[in-house]
């Protein structure tokens, strides 16, 4: 039963490719309205109203859950307004641009009694779920080196907000939250960070390269992103005293959504067998590891259960707050050319 009406703010790539299809795939949710200027695209969905402004959507008493999928520098303001209107809220990553803003939103949600979560969608990637399982099972022994890369090949600068100068632009705020969230879920908050982040392409006006080294004592987690990689290396490289695991290729769910496929379709979330990772034991034996099934649709199912029955939120907003704290520390490290110590995680 679709008993939770949802309002979506923004119908760009995030709203149209990810949020709208996944909301509509959840039996407990009903996408009722979208705040956007793209009225004809919304009307083509059927059964969904297009409204011209976020304010009009927030004033609609029918809407119970608001999803903020607008440009990053508007997340804090719109989430505050949605909570003030008594709505449950999902914010696309990055949660906010500053940890202090995230703390403010978490406090407002607690005072209002409204649910608050953040769309850290890569927690439900099949390759990450595979890595998480292997580490939990001890297949790699004690992990001493973890590397995750999010590389693309886009040598030409495009005229869109993510590539223009301004708060929240660039790939550190766009792709960084995915890699940081996965690392923090696996290993917790690091002791310190050393970072390199800058605009590498000629004429670039926002960060299009980053390399983060997270200090976990004897272990290092390397998180890397670039838009100038035509031949990508392993997406995950993990090494421990019990073995190594290498995994090439990206999770297929994003491309499936872009192609118009939806959860429940044949082969949804199934990785290409040729891209299954390779596990090498300490003794040198090698074997392929079938990639876990990706299940991106789980986010909204868990969010609906959180609202309706008080089940745990799909993403604790305090986790997303810690991601932003790491990004802020990375920016200081890159700007000042030094190692930056990190405080502990947000209080639980």
In a 13 Å sphere around the CA of 337, the CA atoms on its Cβ side amount to 0
Write down the domain spans for the chain: 4-119, 122-295+327-341
Mean pLDDT, residues 25-39 taken together: 97
pLDDT tens column, 169-216: 999 999 999 999 999 999 999 999 999 999 999 999 999 999 999 999
Q: Is the pLDDT of residue 1 over 60?
A: no
**pLDDT for residue 346:** 76
Q: Is the pLDDT of residue 165 over 90?
A: no
Give 251-290 pLDDT, tens digit per residue: 999 999 999 999 999 999 999 999 999 999 999 999 999 9
Average pLDDT, integer, range 110-115: 97
Q: Does domain 122-295+327-341 have CATH number 3.30.360.10?
A: yes
pTM (predicted TM-score): 0.95
pLDDT 10s digits, 325-342: 999 999 999 999 999 999
Measured distance CA(167)–CA(74) in Å, rounded? 10
pLDDT of residue 160: 79
For 4-119, which CATH superfamily applies? NAD(P)-binding Rossmann-like Domain (3.40.50.720)
Cβ neighbours of residue 13 closer than 8 Å, sequence gap 6 or more = none
Output the CA–CA distances (angstroms, integers) from residue 288 to 121, 132, 249, 345, in the order listed: 26, 16, 14, 36
Convert the pLDDT of each residue in 43-59 to its tens digit.
Answer: 999 999 999 999 999 99
Instruction: Answer yes or no: same fold for 4-119 and 122-295+327-341.
Output: no
Q: What is the structure's pLDDT at 158? A: 86
Structure tokens at 56: 């009009």
Report residue 242 as tokens: 């019990």
CA distance 245 to 104: 40
Find the length of the chain: 348
The pLDDT, as a whole number, for residue 336 is: 98
pLDDT of 2 reads: 67
């Amino acid at each position: 039963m679709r008993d939770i009406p949802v309002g979506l703010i923004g119908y760009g790539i995030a709203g149209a490719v990810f949020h709208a299809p996944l909301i509509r795939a959840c039996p407990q949710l009903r996408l009722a309205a979208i705040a956007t200027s793209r009225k004809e695209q919304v009307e083509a969905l059927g059964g969904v109203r297009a409204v011209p402004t976020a304010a009009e959507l927030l004033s609609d008493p029918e809407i119970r859950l608001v999803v903020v999928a607008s440009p990053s520098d508007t997340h804090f303001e719109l989430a505050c307004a949605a909570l003030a209107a008594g709505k449950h809220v999902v914010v696309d990553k990055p949660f906010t641009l500053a940890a202090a803003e995230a703390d403010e939103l978490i406090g407002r949600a607690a005072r209002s009694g409204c649910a608050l979560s953040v769309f850290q969608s890569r927690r439900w990637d099949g390759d990450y779920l595979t890595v998480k399982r292997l580490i939990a099972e001890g297949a790699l022994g004690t992990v001493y080196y973890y590397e995750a890369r999010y590389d693309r090949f886009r040598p030409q600068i495009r005229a869109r907000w993510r590539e223009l100068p301004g708060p929240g632009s660039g790939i550190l705020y766009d792709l960084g939250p995915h890699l940081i969230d996965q690392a923090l879920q696996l290993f917790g908050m690091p002791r310190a960070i050393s970072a390199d982040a800058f605009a590498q392409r000629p004429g670039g006006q926002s960060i299009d390269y980053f390399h983060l080294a997270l200090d976990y004592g004897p272990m290092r987690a390397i998180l890397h992103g670039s838009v100038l990689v035509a031949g990508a290396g392993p997406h995950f490289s993990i090494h421990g005293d019990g073995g190594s695991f290498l995994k090439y290729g990206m999770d297929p769910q994003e491309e499936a959504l872009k192609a118009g496929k939806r959860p429940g379709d044949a082969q949804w979330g199934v990785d290409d067998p040729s891209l299954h990772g390779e596990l090498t034991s300490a003794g040198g034996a090698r074997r392929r590891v079938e990639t876990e099934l990706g299940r991106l649709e789980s986010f909204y199912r868990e969010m609906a259960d959180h609202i309706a029955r008080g089940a745990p939120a799909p993403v604790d907003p305090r986790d997303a707050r810690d991601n932003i704290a790491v990004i802020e520390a990375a920016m200081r490290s890159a700007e000042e050319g030094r190692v930056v110590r990190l405080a502990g995680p947000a209080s639980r």
